[in-house]
Structure 1
Amino acid sequence: MAEEENVEYGCEHYKRKCKLVTPCCDKVYTCRFCHDEKEEHTLNRKNVDEIMCSVCETKQPVQQNCSNCGILFGQYFCGKCKLIDDEDKKQYHCEGCGICRVGGRDKFFHCQTCDMCLPKKLENQHRCVEKMSRTNCPICLEDIHTSRIPSHIPSCGHLIHRTCFNSFIHRGHYACPVCQRSMMPMESYWRILDEEIASTPMPVEYQNFFVTILCNDCHQFSEVPMHPLGAKCQNAPCGSYNTCRSGGPVNRPVVREQTPNSE
């Protein structure tokens, strides 16, 4: 047994002493991710009814201990998800999500509207989006609900893989790819644009041109002077530069008062 304990079992995704016998192609893989990387179809692990012991290679129904050699396949076992893991990740099964989650049941709650588990600190303090996890990540287009990659929840409520979000921001994007709303506080950047626009006046022939804009943050229209560096929302207290042009340019010449001619 001491020799067996020194043997590395499992794969890069899960540490376990068993493998899945896949019903879709009748092959043996350590986990569904290993299967999906090799095959041209995906494996629904809930359809798995048979596993193979990695120690004695006995095939058997899904269970936590080997029916032949008695070895423990993994410390965590979920018969509903057919999930076996020998690493402590604070796993728990959520009936609402229909899958196992990690991080500890005491640190999360299930939002019925969003249809997913969220950190306790967001309870009654987040924007609900109907079944928001049942969509794909808007950046990589991969599944979010069953993904092992943590998700980021911007203020608009549209879920994005955390790795995708960090990469997106690093490339200079700040607006949600779904609704175009700013995903982080932008006030300091708006002040920089204020200063740049104030120090870069338009040529005289364009100083009377105005454009109509729609703000992606407050969803209000306003008319602003045309400027290539940006168009600032005029609706207080917004002041966002996250806007798009909806009309114009329109030339509005300044009307100067005329003095009466003397005879």
Structure 2
Amino acid sequence: MAALVGCEHYARSCLLKAPCCGKLYVCRLCHDAEENHQMDRFKVEEVQCSECQTLQQAQKACQQCHVQFGEYYCDICHLFDKDKKQYHCQPCGICRIGPREKYFHCDKCNLCLAQDLQGNHKCVENVSRQNCPVCMEDIHTSRIGAHVLPCGHLLHKSCFDDMVRTSAYRCPLCMHSVWNMEEYWSQIDKEIAQSPMPIEYQGTTVKIMCNDCQAHCTVPFHVLGMKCTGCGSYNTAQDGGLIQQHPEPDNDNEPETNAEHQHDQSESP
């Protein structure tokens, strides 16, 4: 077998003939980067051997010089590549990097997920058919792996890693915390305990909505954060203005009314 060449995306020994424009490219991604339209991988019918330049029907090995076009070949996706334990998932409609036994297809999410997420993730119907909310690029057919958030939404793994580096901790779609924040909430508890509000704000409350448990509650106002009384999260949003707690009036020190003052004058000598 000749050494696989290919491009930065795939290792293969053939060029695909684009069914849309008839041009030869190593892969659909190389085609899409150069042209003003996209190649439909499923409609590819012909390939050209990189060794003998024979144009032929798409297949695993060259009919002329018998060189193998790729260690892995899918005759549905017309995918040629080095062996990465790939498998074709019929419900997904595309090939996935395996091995197959480490993944299962979630029918509701309509996506292949790691086995340790089976029965252990929040399903969002057809979640992978949405673009990544960070980079706005396709997730379902992307060569970049997907990261499943606790809320069930998906990000590209690389986009999630960028969020971690910038200390962003909320899902861009629903604002739910994307990892366990208990240690950080405890830190805010300590900071609030050491930073009392000025006297004019003491006793002031505010209505909040929690992005983690969706509870609505009224809590003490503090500039460092408002803590949900339901789940203890500081991932909350203020709902309305400040509620000032006014002290009850002291009846013993109430000023005289005009009527009382006039009555006193009428009895004066």
TM-score (norm 2): 0.90
Aligned to 1:89: 84
Which residue of 191, 215, 219 corresponds with 1:220? Answer: 215
Counterpart check, 1:65 vs 2:61: yes
Q: Which runs of 5+ in 1 are unaligned?
A: none
Q: Which runs of 4+ in 1 moved over 4 A?
A: 254-261
Deviation at 1:169, TM superposition (A): 1.9
Which whole-Å CA distance do the structure 1 matches of 2:23 and 2:212 have between them?
Answer: 51
Deviation at 1:259, TM superposition (A): 8.1
Which residue of 26, 30, 33 corresponds with 1:34? Answer: 30
Counterpart check, 1:110 vs 2:118: no
TM-score (norm 1): 0.92
Aligned to 2:262: none
Amino acid at match of 1:22: A
User: What secondary structure does 2:32 align onto?
Assistant: helix
Deviation at 1:49, TM superposition (A): 1.0
Which whole-Å CA distance do the structure 2 matches of 1:182 and 1:255 have between them?
Answer: 40
Amino acid at match of 1:117: C
Which residue of 153, 158, 166 corresponds with 2:161? Answer: 166
Percent identity for Structure 1 against Structure 2 = 50
1:210–1:248 contact (8 Å) kept in structure 2? no
Deviation at 1:108, TM superposition (A): 0.7
Counterpart check, 1:13 vs 2:9: yes
2:16–2:46 contact (8 Å) kept in structure 1? yes
2:175–2:211 contact (8 Å) kept in structure 1? yes
* Deviations, residues 163-209 of structure 1 (Å, cap 9, x unaligned): 00010121121010011000100000001101111111111111132
Deviation at 1:130, TM superposition (A): 0.2
* Deviations, residues 199-237 of structure 1 (Å, cap 9, x unaligned): 1111111113211000000101111121111111012xx
1:1-263 matches, within 5 Å, as 5=2, 9-85=5-81, 87-235=82-230, 238-255=231-248
Amino acid at match of 1:101: R
* Deviations, residues 225-257 of structure 1 (Å, cap 9, x unaligned): 21111111012xx11000001122111124488
2:4–2:12 contact (8 Å) kept in structure 1? no
Counting matched residue pairs gives 254
Which whole-Å CA distance do the structure 2 matches of 1:51 and 1:149 have between them?
Answer: 26
1:208–1:254 contact (8 Å) kept in structure 2? no
Which whole-Å CA distance do the structure 1 matches of 2:183 and 2:96 have between them?
Answer: 37
* Deviations, residues 77-127 of structure 1 (Å, cap 9, x unaligned): 111111111x11000011110100012111111111110111111111111
